[in-house]
Structure 1
Amino acid sequence: MKSIPFVVPAAGTDLVEPVADGWQLILAALAGIAVIVVLIMWLKVHPFLALILGSFTVGLVAWENVNDVLTSFTTTFGSTMAGVGLLIALGAMFAKLLADSGGADQIVDTIVGHSSAKMLPWAMALIGAIIGLPMFFEIGLVLLMPVIYLVARRAQVSLIVVGIPALAGLSAMHGLVPPHPGPLLAIDNLGADLGLTLALGVLVAIPTVILAGPVFGRIAGGWVQVEAPHTFDSTDDAKNRPSFGITILSVLLPVVLMVGKALVDIFIDDENDGLRKVWDILGNPPVALLIAVVVGIFTLGGGARFSKEQIQKSLESSLPPIAGIMLIVGAGGGFKQVLIDTGIGTVLADWATDRNISAVLMAWVLAVLIRLATGSATIATITASGLMSSLMGGLSSAEVSLVVLAVGAGSVFFSHVNDAGFWLVKEYFKLDVPQTLKTWSLMETILSVSGLVFVLLLGLVV
């Protein structure tokens, strides 16, 4: 194995000239982040507005021209929405088709039906990962709760034993694997290759989910004994569903296309090669997700025997719930650009180079600190990748992808009371606050730390 000199490069011509002294820029960044934290945590202001105000705070403390701050924010807001926003919208459409058609239920029922009692936690981790691949965490959790309740009662085990593995699968996909908003933003901010990052993200996610899911779930289940309620006992078994095989193929189609492009790029150097040109189109993320949506209309919608009106309703209803998410993502991109244009990246590069700090470790620590402060994995990813974006010069494509994964791992660290997911898990699992901290919060911490460890190990071989 080779050891990569994974050191942040010295500031060079690619980095922005600082607009003020280093201490002032650090203060500006901290002030901007503090404003966002205070507005979100204590004043309950929507993150979209908090990110806008945080951006202006950075500019004011750094003594930047207000018009320059506004230009930086709005320009990048538009470019972020044009790129990442399209992927989020297409991903939401596919996820809604998967849910409405019963395809998600089919995956769950099939895997659980072929698992022994001892293997159920492992099956639940697999279900969480598969469902989490195209879906937001909250959507996946809501879909999985009926199955988690049913499995816990059948196996006569604590709800935690089968629930924690499912949550680990969902959370790992949310933090490490696109097309979730966080990883997509980090990929965009840091200029990483999406297909390569997706492939490396899956490699990191597998052992991470095992440790934080089935292994820790068994331990946590001994600490916290919770019986599954009967909330979701009534189910509609007569509903038409697409088959398990068709559903899995539909879910994995965009992943295969994007990973396929990454592999073709590695093994075919000639950019004029016909096969490479075809994969450049098919593996382009918007094209891959668009193909998945179109195919899903026939495989998922057709498998459920949806009428044209039902398919139209499913696709239309997928977009309103993500409007807020898209605005947050766009504003996060704008906040990132304001940070970059102050030249704080140059200051961090000089500081990190003098101390020979690993880019992976620095990215993880930044994401952890912001995650603890704001409670948002998405904002932690956006801000940390924004701070790191000027430091990527000289790193290979694989190394940049590992920095993306380090940010993603840090972004899920120790969910606590300022995280909406904390309260969602608490209520669904009928836990009190200490129990939620001992189970969900600790699981997220194990996920984050083990994710960092596996990213560092992967850095030795890529």
Structure 2
Amino acid sequence: MIDHHSIFLLISALIAVVGLVLLIAVVKLNPFISLFLVSLALAVAAGMPLHNIAHSFEVGVGGTLGHIAIVVALGTMLGKMMAESGGAAQIAHTLINLFGEKNVHWAMVVIGLIIGLPAFFEVGFVLLIPIAYTVARRTKTSLVLVGLPMVAGLSVVHGLVPPHPAALLAVTIYKADVGRTIFYALLVGIPTAIIAGPLYAKLIAPHVTLAEENPMAAEFVDHGDEQSLPGFWLTLLTILLPVLLMLVGSWADTLSAPKSALNEWLRLIGNDSIALLIGVLFSFFTLGRMRGFTRETILRFSNECLAPTATITLLVGAGGGFGRILQDSGVSNAIISVAMHSHIPLLFLAWLLAALMRLATGSATVAMTTAAGIVAPIALHGAGVHPELLAIATGAGSLIFSHVNDGGFWLVKEYFNMSIGQTIKTWSVCETIISVTALVLTVAISFAIR
């Protein structure tokens, strides 16, 4: 039986989320303050010890910002160099010529799938957003039509496809075969990205009117005419360098003996933050000095692009604080308790647990690892379920309905300059389409390979 306290916690969490949306959208209270207040109210309602509440929120904020702040800062600097040098315009111009102006949304989902493979969602997002801005501006197309396919591609590989770190964690926990998981994940992921990206973007874009002024897009102004743009391949190498370094880091044990000096160095340069730092320094040369910019100009670019990121970084951190309160208040355990009392098929259980954890914590990685840790021991005693498909189903569940406790929600909202409602209609629904479509296709494959 599910105890009354678990039900109370779930209802409290639901009220907290609704209250948060109302505070931001109706009362027009600052989103950071709204997140902070709702987190405190939920903690008190859930019966958390009063002396732990502030610390819990601070730990959540700090843990999130420890990674996100570095990624946003370095990614924005790299994006600024791409924009000021004309590199983003060059890539946008090449994509437009290759796919045609009417099909740029297909180009963006392809680049999202490729760039997202080794990089966490936030890293891929900040690398690609200046290209999305430039493509939208040059084709006079809605940023939703251009950007949504891009984030769909990034999200699909984040949750489903090894060697992405999050997906690889689930593969390891389930003891699945990496090669087969990649094969099945691509079978599921490519059509899923197409449905949630270009097709859904084409459907929803006419119904979302964005403000003409976008403070973040203004930081990535398109400079120079097409004849004076940097080379396409040099620009592509600059944006792909962090991605390539992350791939090298993920292959460290294959390329060198584990725990050797070379192995440690490969892991260091393959770290998200270090790879982005190297990429930014490389861009100062390829897109800065080689384009004739002085050191003073490059310094000005890297300084002035940081100011608009302050709000985004704070909101992402506050979302992490809210997620931590949801965990420490016992909401996560209540969700697990409810799911474990349901007698449902293993594939769906893996998806459901990950989905519920994602809704509660806002983190796809936390949702994936938690759900896999619960389901894996059960799977060992069951028969007929392929561990590779369990890993994919878990990843699919971890992507469902990103909302206000997810850092990705605030990144998309602020960079696209959308309201809460618009972000839910576009990004949150896109994530839900990915989650449900991937589950349906995974179940279909499970019937086909029995």
Report whether the alignment pairs 1:350 with 2:337. Answer: yes
Report whether the alignment pairs 1:261 with 2:249. Answer: yes
User: Is contact 1:337–1:386 with CA below 8 Å preserved after alignment?
Assistant: no
2:97 alignment partner AA: G
User: Is contact 1:59–1:338 with CA below 8 Å preserved after alignment?
Assistant: yes
1:392 shift after superposition: 5.0
Question: Secondary structure at the residue paired with 1:21?
Answer: helix
Change (3 A) 1:334 1:130: same
Report whether the alignment pairs 1:243 with 2:195. Answer: no
2:33 to 29, 42, 49: 49
User: Is contact 1:73–1:338 with CA below 8 Å preserved after alignment?
Assistant: yes
2:54 alignment partner AA: L
1:277 to 242, 260, 264: 264
For 1:295, the equivalent position in structure 2 comes to 282
Question: Secondary structure at the residue paired with 2:225?
Answer: coil
Change (3 A) 1:400 1:91: farther
Report whether the alignment pairs 1:67 with 2:64. Answer: no
For 1:154, the equivalent position in structure 2 comes to none
Change (3 A) 1:285 1:341: same
1:278 shift after superposition: 2.8
Change (3 A) 1:34 1:217: closer
Partners of 2:310 and 2:15 lie apart in 1 by 28
Question: Secondary structure at the residue paired with 2:282?
Answer: helix
For 1:305, the equivalent position in structure 2 comes to 292
1:121 shift after superposition: 5.6
Partners of 2:328 and 2:247 lie apart in 1 by 33
Partners of 1:325 and 1:442 lie apart in 2 by 18
User: Is contact 1:240–1:303 with CA below 8 Å preserved after alignment?
Assistant: no
2:362 alignment partner AA: I
1:146 shift after superposition: 2.4
1:454 shift after superposition: 3.1
Change (3 A) 1:309 1:101: same
1:218 shift after superposition: 7.3
Partners of 1:49 and 1:425 lie apart in 2 by 19
2:314 to 317, 327, 330: 327
1:274 shift after superposition: 4.7
1:142 alignment partner AA: Y
* CA displacement 1:271-299 (0-9 Å, x = unmatched): 32455323211211111111111111112
Change (3 A) 1:34 1:271: same
Change (3 A) 1:402 1:50: farther
2:63 to 61, 64, 79: 79
Change (3 A) 1:45 1:176: farther
1:147 alignment partner AA: R
Question: Secondary structure at the residue paired with 2:308?
Answer: helix
* CA displacement 1:250-270 (0-9 Å, x = unmatched): 1122222223322445x4796
For 1:110, the equivalent position in structure 2 comes to 94
User: Is contact 1:106–1:242 with CA below 8 Å preserved after alignment?
Assistant: yes
Equivalenced residue count is 387
In terms of fraction of residues, the more helix-rich structure is: 2
For 1:147, the equivalent position in structure 2 comes to 138
1:169 to 149, 155, 180: 149
User: Is contact 1:106–1:243 with CA below 8 Å preserved after alignment?
Assistant: yes
Question: Secondary structure at the residue paired with 2:341?
Answer: helix
User: Is contact 2:336–2:353 with CA below 8 Å preserved after alignment?
Assistant: no
Change (3 A) 1:60 1:123: closer
Partners of 1:248 and 1:117 lie apart in 2 by 20
User: What TM-score, normalized to structure 1?
Assistant: 0.66
1:411 alignment partner AA: S
Change (3 A) 1:208 1:246: farther
User: Is contact 1:175–1:408 with CA below 8 Å preserved after alignment?
Assistant: yes
1:97 shift after superposition: 1.6
Change (3 A) 1:220 1:51: closer
For 1:429, the equivalent position in structure 2 comes to none
Once the two structures are overlaid, the 10-residue window that deviates more, 402-411 or 48-57, is 402-411
Q: Which runs of 5+ in 1 are unaligned?
A: 1-10, 12-17, 150-158, 179-185, 371-379, 413-418, 427-432
Question: Secondary structure at the residue paired with 2:229?
Answer: coil
For 1:34, the equivalent position in structure 2 comes to 18
1:386 shift after superposition: 7.0
In the TM superposition, what are the counterparts of 1:155-234 in structure 2 within 5 Å? 166-173=146-153, 175-176=155-156, 203=186, 206-213=190-197
2:56 alignment partner AA: S
Partners of 1:422 and 1:86 lie apart in 2 by 17
Q: Which runs of 5+ in 2 are unaligned?
A: 117-123, 159-164, 173-177, 213-221, 377-386, 404-411
1:447 shift after superposition: 6.4
2:147 alignment partner AA: L
Change (3 A) 1:38 1:118: closer
Question: Secondary structure at the residue paired with 2:373?
Answer: coil
For 1:7, the equivalent position in structure 2 comes to none
1:100 to 81, 84, 109: 84
Report whether the alignment pairs 1:410 with 2:409. Answer: no
1:25 to 9, 17, 23: 9
1:411 shift after superposition: 2.4
1:51 shift after superposition: 1.1
1:37 shift after superposition: 1.5
